[in-house]
Amino acid sequence: NYPNITSWKLASHTDTNSLSYRPGFTSNLDLTPNPFDSASWSLNGRATHLSVVPRDINDSIRPPNKQVGVPDIGAYEFTPLVEPPYAKATPAVPSAGTMQHFTFGEDTVARIKWDAFYPVPSSLNMKNFSGDKPLGTFNGASYMRSYWRIDSVATATYNYDLLLRYKDPWLGTNANETNLLQARNNTASSNTWNVYSTSTIVDTFMNYMSVAGINDFKRFHTGTNTSNTLPVNLFNISASKIKNDAIVNWTTAQEINTNVFEVERLLNSEHAKEWLILGKLKAAGNSNSIKNYQFIDQTLSIGHLAPGTIIYYRLKIIDNDGSFNYSKIVSINLDEEVMKDEIHVFPNPFNENVYVKIVSSSNQEVKITLRDITGKTISNELCEVKSGLTIRNEAAMGNLQSGIYFITVETRDKIQTRKLIKR
């Protein structure tokens, strides 16, 4: 009943890594990949490391681990001799205040969110070199086995957020996925890579790294670990409207020498684009457990703001030595009367407990189902979620054996299934 893989993904919430693309075989009768066909990139560097399949059909060695390389889909290990096709941009042309999705074979490889108050380029194209080591090297020899190339002519000062989607086999020599940082370079032969050491946001479950507020273009992008780690492992941050106040909630899983959280606000009606410091909350300092924080913004009379106003919030996370970095930006849109359910499952991978966090606009019943890798149901229960914020502890997870599991959270507005890894 679904005409393409994208429709099926949206309906089933599965197959996030599946591709729908011509494989670039030599012919219909010869299924050897043609390295001169750009479509062969749908096979290159997109398989999983399997110790039980150490060699291909020609007895060539397959990469055994992430540090060595990435296997190719199919019977053959090969190297394309042409560049990959351009990813499909939706919408095709950049436009201020919109978001462009870039897909290859209906699989998202990147996303760009253009600021509504800045110019945009007349055109922009992107290619993803899956499984390939980035051209040039950079300090520390930490690099991802994949890189992205942006082709655009910069003629102005821009403002955009860049999100790059990666696969686990692409992590390369990066020892710690949590500490991934976006890096960029303008020249293929140069080893001078600029690293977003304080502003990269990483989601290790959804497999993306993003940077907000970029104002120019560099041609090549990848992931590295060359800079210091963030002092806080910030799992999530959200903003919501309760009556005439705004509430900012955030959760940390680990804090290292953290001093204070500074809460900042920006209104889209403010022309100066300067963030206002609202207040500070003392951090835990050093912690390896879940910590929940909440800040109530009582300085706004939300009921008197103009319709269409968007209220932005972010955290300035300040370390004991004075160094700092910013959280991602969250917002409240006063035109959105109904807040859709937000579902977060963390930490992942986990040792003992898993937390299911649901932000709901009203009281409702939520169904939570846990299955093993074979699809067998381990637990299936209903729980009541009150209006606002609820965090539920799946304490029984500690009794599970190490391996892969799937947890499905079903609310009135959506169904989400997440893969969990028990250490």
Amino acid at 91: P
- The CA radius of gyration of the chain, in Å to the nearest whole number, is 23
For residue 288, which of 259, 250, 255 has the smallest C-alpha distance?
255
Q: How far apart are CA 27 and CA 251, in angstroms?
A: 53
Each residue's pLDDT tens digit, 304-321: 666 667 888 888 888 787
DSSP 388: E
Are the CB atoms for 405 and 371 separated by under 8 Å?
Answer: yes
Considering only residues 230 and 79, tell me which one the structure prediction assigns the higher pLDDT: 79
Sign of the CA dihedral running 397, 399, 405, 406: negative
Within a 10 A sphere around the Cβ of 130, how many other Cβ atoms? 26
Cβ neighbours for 376, distance < 8 A, ≥ 6 positions apart: none
Q: How far apart are CA 174 and CA 140, in angstroms?
A: 10
Q: Identify the weakest region by mean pLDDT among 25-39, 55-69, 191-205, 336-350.
A: 336-350
Are the CB atoms for 104 and 87 separated by under 8 Å?
Answer: yes
Residue 39 pLDDT greater than 50, yes or no:
yes
pLDDT at 257: 78
Are the CB atoms for 292 and 359 separated by under 8 Å?
Answer: no
Mean pLDDT for the stretch of residues 65-84:
92
Q: Indicate the helix (H) or strand (E) that contains 314.
A: strand 310-319
Query: What 3-state DSSP class applies to 70?
Result: coil
Cβ neighbours for 173, distance < 8 A, ≥ 6 positions apart: 66, 67, 141, 142, 143
Residue 9 pLDDT greater than 80, yes or no:
yes
**pTM for this entry:** 0.56
Q: How far apart are CA 157 and CA 146, in angstroms?
A: 28
Task: Calculate the average pLDDT of the chain.
Answer: 82
pLDDT at 389: 47
Are the CB atoms for 159 and 189 separated by under 8 Å?
Answer: no
